[in-house]
Chain A
Amino acid sequence: MKKLPYIAFIVFAVLLIISGLRPERYDTDFDVEAFAELPVQVGGRIKPIDSVARNTLLIFAGRQKVITPEGTTLSPIEWFMDLTMKPEVADTYRVFKIEFPDDLGLPGLAQQGQRYYSFNDLLPHFDEIIRLHSEINPEPKKRSAYEQQIADLNDNLTLYHRVMHSLHPIGDAERLNRLVDEYMSFQQMVPAGMEALRKQQAGEDYDAELLSAFINYGDDYLKLSQTAYLRVVPPPPPVEPLDNWKNIGLELLDVIKGEPLSPYVSGYGALTMAYRNDQVDMFNQTVDELRLRFEADFPGEIGRVHFERLFNAAQPFYLSMLLYVLVFLAVCVSWLRWPHELSKAAFHILILAFLIHTFGLLARMYISGRYFVFVTNLYSSAVFVGWGAVFLGAIMERIFKNGIGAAMAAMVGFCTLIVAHHLSMSGDTLEMMRAVLDSNFWLATHVTVITLGYSAMFFAGTLGLIFVIFGVFSRNFRKNDARTLGSMIYGVTCFATLFSLVGTILGGIWADQSWGRFWGWDPKENGALMIVVMGAIFLHARWGGICRERGLACLAICGNIITAWSWFGTNLLGVGLHSYGFTDSGFFWMVGFVLSQLVFIGLAQLPWSFWRSDFGQDKSSKERKRILIASE
């Protein structure tokens, strides 16, 4: 009976995991999964269409689902299929998220309480959008929120148009329903068309009708080659992974040069025809053929592409985020009832969440082909900061068994994954690295170590917050607890200082290796140095007896501010070699975060008599005694 709360929480966690890992069900007989796994080359790497569909939808809608006017919910890949193959239907889906439609300056667009709009909703306003867009500040960093909204809308509409043209030319239903015939007649026309062109230029008699039809095709495919977003056509085998792929338009144009048309092009044409005519068998068979062809051409890539789709579907970071919430809940309840059982449950769920989090990290490494490289951009740094903090928290929990380690781990893990989620809105999070940053050794050492330093700093800072909150508000917080918490903060800060120092210095060595300057006073370097100095201040203040528990907790909270500045703030300045991830709204979040931390530091400055905890009352009475003695 005593075990019931433990069992309840564990069962709930396991149910969450199972429901998270259950494969997605599609309400159709089309082999959506196989289609999702077809490869494309975007941003310098080969990935499944599924990833493109998800990233594109995230950019438009900020979420990974589409609700049709009929109320059905579509997954990103189903939406993508409609967008490319049944564009007339996809144009009615509300996929464009507009945060403040009333302020856009497009009369008649905004609908009460509606933040999502379809292509067809926006269609009547195109001229106005183009006009508004031409008036905004061309310098992205100097745009107002309103101007940014216009710019985003314009960019999104362009991207929508380009993605739509990815698999074949777009036209009316009649054209889409006979794409394969179109390609066929185009191919047959090429020799005669070229001959007519030659004759025309030589001033001889030629077939004017044929030539004009031929030139029409040429113009159309030229436009398509400039519009089509995805590179879906690999070069004929044998192929290397870094060879250039072509988009549909380029491939069709090259037929004019006498090159044979790639079977991928007609494959996608056939897919579209089958999808439009509800020919399930035909569709599934064509997808299978495309997949087998890719498998034969890229035997080394197929496994990775397949894995990437499974990874996308499993969403391990989302799952661990849910579990972190559960851990936090379990700890909070454990402080009120069933302390033993629930803190055990919290610890075990934390380990589960940590394993899933770790799996996500490793999976990203496998997909990008960079082992031991945890951090390549701001997004992955957020994921890794969370991971490091959870790791530390789990160790703390193992040592102290008081729930604080687990709660803090859950909190930092959850918050950093939320930050990561928001950073992922801008597109692919597994983008390629610029040459100067492209060094697996340094990415694996410097960046990993310094990011672990951030983790530890945040962890210590969060413990500082707990100290202040418990100290001021909780009656149960005794002298002993204060001492334990103090030594936790101290231990984690030691760790943070060590990692920040080593990481910073490794960065210096990397800089010396790559541009001959050990130290350049670049903002990001300075930020890292500030963390080291913060750690040094904390340690010296403690060793010198300058600060006691309360002061040290405040210093740890200062560490939060410094770390946030180093991590995000320096990127806001837009100077230097490290400013790789500028984010507009970041500034407000940054200011908000700093203010919130200052509030807690201010709270800690309350005189001891206002502290409700045992610890505070004890201090308060000692202080009064001292004053009495002094006045006597």
Chain B
Amino acid sequence: MKALLKFFSSLKLTVVLLVFAMMLIFFGTLDQVQYGIWHTQKLYFESYIAIWAYPEQAPGYEALQWLHIPMPGGYLLGGMLLINLVAAHVTRFKMTWKKSGIFLVHFGLILLLISELLTDLLAQESQMPVDEGGRANYSQSYRENELVLIDRSNPDYDQVHSIPTSLLKPGKVVDVPESDLKIRTVRYYPNANIGRAQPGSPHDSPATQGAAVKMNIVAHPAEVTYDENSINTATAFVEVIAPEGSLGIWLVSNIIDDRFPPQMVHSGDQSWEIALRFQRHYYPFEVELVDFKHDKYPGTEIPFNFSSEVMVHHEDHTKNQKALIYMNHPLRYEGLTFYQASFANQDRTSIFQVVRNPGWILPYLSVLLMGLGMVIQFGIHFVGFLNKRSS
């Protein structure tokens, strides 16, 4: 036990872990060329083991393709560093004024590691496009999808039944929340090519209802892309099962969106729109875009200002708010933060990044602690050094 504690609290372990951290960050940067930032993050920093393979595009791939370098992933390293740090403080460190700086730095570091973990687990990012003069009450994810059945029978509101696509496993049956329907997944493709069936080619579509039948559409699985600028066409064939029996199989895909006529599911006197779409988050307020500005320096394409004037209309009118959202000046509202992210539609549509991150304040605290700790520690060293020299 003592030996174990000694191992976990040793400075040698710290140095070894830091060297691994350096490796991880380096290779985790290199692989971004291939996999983009988001996927690399999953592979390297939100994992236990990461393996770097010699990239295909690099010179000498023929000779070096056997080269694979395994290394501990971000979760493992972060966890080990945390244990190392705590163990060292329990066993070796005595709280003295001379060490107070180190304590602050380490405590800040622990806080930072925890806040990163919290962000990984809890933070939610989505985008909200709003047209000038228009309003939006939801934001949508640009990676996660959902299967929805929408009941539009009530004139005052729509009822949305949503199933995340992570539950769509071929052959599995899931209940549609708050309804009598069930969904059986026939096929699910994270990315697919969708098009009209070509005459002569094998027509392989299990669909019996909806657009796929009417327009003779087929879907072929495609490789998942990690490119920052392209999206995956998530596609599924789903069977809708009512208490009285199967209603048929529909083809749904996030590329078959509002531009197409809705696909309807009828059971008895009830009917629903069925669709697979980017996951939406609905809010109890509407964001109205009053005006969007995009200014450039004269004679250049360099923008010096993007700004969106918005009015937030809340169900509770006392919470209504006017705001100007521009670069480096987000709107923090109801636990969400709205950032000016992009624009479209010849500057008539503004796109906000909407972030919910309950732990956003933690890094600020840890920064203060670490900065302060370092200043104290090095200050003590420096003053000591100067005294020694002058004496």
> Which residues of A does B touch, CB under 8 Å?
41-45, 231, 242-245, 399, 431-436, 438-439, 442, 487, 491, 494-495, 497-498, 501-502, 505-506, 508-510, 512-523, 526-527, 529-530, 533-534, 536-537, 540-541, 543-544, 546, 562, 565, 570, 573-576
Contact = CB atoms under 8 A, between A and B. Distances in A.
B37 A522 contact: yes
B355 interface: yes
B299 A432 contact: no
A243 B298 CA distance: 7
B224 interface: no
Interface string B17-50: 0110110011011101100110011001100000
Interface string B364-389: 10010011001100100110010001
Contacts of B363: 505, 508-509, 512, 518-519
Nearest to A502: B371
B186 to A, nearest CB: 37
Contacts, number: 161
Nearest to B326: A435
Contacts of B37: 520-522, 575-576
Nearest to B338: A516
16 contacts: A44-B299, A242-B298, A431-B302, A435-B327, A491-B385, A494-B381, A510-B328, A514-B328, A518-B115, A519-B363, A521-B32, A521-B37, A521-B40, A533-B21, A543-B11, A544-B11
Interface string B339-362: 101000000000001010100100
Given A501-B371, A509-B363, A509-B367, A41 B328 contact: no
B353 A498 contact: no
A35 B125 CA distance: 55
B303 interface: yes
A491 B22 contact: no
Contacts of A523: 29, 32
Given A41-B299, A244-B298, 8 more contacts: A242-B298, A432-B300, A434-B303, A435-B306, A495-B378, A521-B37, A530-B25, A540-B15
A515 B353 contact: yes
A516 B298 contact: no
Contacts of B30: 573
B304 interface: yes
A558 B382 CA distance: 24
B339 A438 contact: no
Contact of B41 (A245, A433, A487, A521): A521
B330 A42 contact: no
Contacts of B367: 502, 505-506, 508-509
Contacts of A546: 11-12, 15
Contacts of B305: 435
B371 A505 contact: yes
B15 to A, nearest CB: 5
B297 A44 contact: yes
B193 interface: no
Nearest to A545: B11
B18 A533 contact: yes
B267 interface: no
Nearest to A537: B18
Nearest to B14: A540
A435 B303 contact: yes
B298 A436 contact: no
Nearest to A441: B328
A461 B259 CA distance: 60
A514 B340 CA distance: 8
Nearest to B381: A494
B119 interface: yes
**Interface of chain B: mostly helix, strand, loop or mixed:** helix
A42 B22 contact: no
B328 A442 contact: yes
Contacts of B360: 512, 518
A526 B330 CA distance: 24
Contacts of B355: 516-517
Interface string B137-157: 000000000000000000000
Given A505-B363, A534-B22, A537-B15, A439 B29 contact: no
A290 B324 CA distance: 42
Interface string B292-322: 0000111110111110000000000000000
A436 B327 contact: yes
Contacts of A522: 37
B116 interface: yes
Nearest to A505: B367
Contact of B298 (A245, A506, A573): A245
Contacts of B45: 521
Contact of A501 (B116, B341, B370): B370
B339 A43 contact: no
Contact of A573 (B33, B41, B329): B33
A516 B353 contact: yes
Contacts of A433: 302, 304
A243 B303 CA distance: 14
Most buried by B among A436, A512, A527, A570: A512
Nearest to A519: B116
B18 A540 contact: yes
Contacts of A435: 303-306, 327
A135 B108 CA distance: 56
B37 to A, nearest CB: 6
Contacts of B205: none
B298 A41 contact: yes
Contact of B374 (A498, A509, A529): A498
Given A505-B371, A508-B363, A544 B297 contact: no
Contacts of A576: 32, 37
Contacts of B28: 521, 526
A459 to B, nearest CB: 16
A579 to B, nearest CB: 11
A242 to B, nearest CB: 6
A64 B357 CA distance: 53
Contacts of B116: 519
A537 B19 contact: yes
A520 to B, nearest CB: 7
A382 B33 CA distance: 26
Given A44-B298, A245-B298, A515-B341, A570 B29 contact: yes
A530 to B, nearest CB: 5
A228 to B, nearest CB: 11
Contacts of A487: 385
Pairs A-B, 6 closest by C-beta atoms: A44-B297, A544-B11, A516-B355, A505-B367, A244-B298, A526-B29
A502 B29 contact: no
A527 B15 contact: no
B328 A43 contact: no
B125 A498 contact: no
A471 B329 CA distance: 53
B208 interface: no
A47 B44 CA distance: 48
A544 B15 CA distance: 9
A544 B13 CA distance: 10
A439 B119 CA distance: 26
A531 to B, nearest CB: 10
A501 B104 CA distance: 14
Contact of B378 (A498, A519, A565): A498
A576 B32 CA distance: 9
B263 interface: no
A231 B18 contact: no
B382 A497 contact: no
Contacts of A543: 11
